[in-house]
A and B are shown apart, each in its own frame.
Chain A
Amino acid sequence: EPEVTQTPSHQVTQMGQEVILRCVPISNHLYFYWYRQILGQKVEFLVSFYNNEISEKSEIFDDQFSVERPDGSNFTLKIRSTKLEDSAMYFCASSAGAEQYFGPGTRLTVT
Chain B
Amino acid sequence: AQSVTQPDIHITVSEGASLELRCNYSYGATPYLFWYVQSPGQGLQLLLKYFSGDTLVQGIKGFEAEFKRSQSSLNLRKRSVHWSGAAEYFCAVGEGVTGGGNKLTFGTGTQLKVEL
Query: Which residues from chain A sit less than 8 Å from chain B, CB to CB?
Result: 4, 6, 29-31, 33, 35, 41-45, 48, 50, 55-56, 58, 91, 93, 95-105
Q: Are B43 and A96 in contact (CB under 8 A)?
A: no
B70 interface hit (Cβ, 8 Å) = no
Contact indicator B98/A101 (Cβ below 8 Å)? no
Query: Known: A42-B108, A98-B51, A102-B43. Is A56-B103 also a contact (CB below 8 A)?
Result: yes
On whether A45 and B100 interact (CB within 8 A), knowing A99-B34, A101-B46, A103-B43, the answer reads no
Q: Chain B residues near A41 (CB, 8 Å)? A: 108
Known: A6-B43, A58-B103, A105-B43. 6 other contacts (CB 8 A): A30-B100, A41-B108, A48-B101, A95-B101, A99-B49, A102-B46
Return A105 CB to nearest CB of chain B, in Å: 5
CB closest residue in chain B, given A89 = B43
Contact (Cβ within 8 A) B36 A102: yes
- Residues facing A in B76-116 (CB within 8 A) are 90, 92, 94, 97-109
- Closest Cβ neighbor of B42 among chain A residues: A104
- A98 adjacent to B105 (CB under 8 Å): no
A96 to B102, CA, bound (A): 11
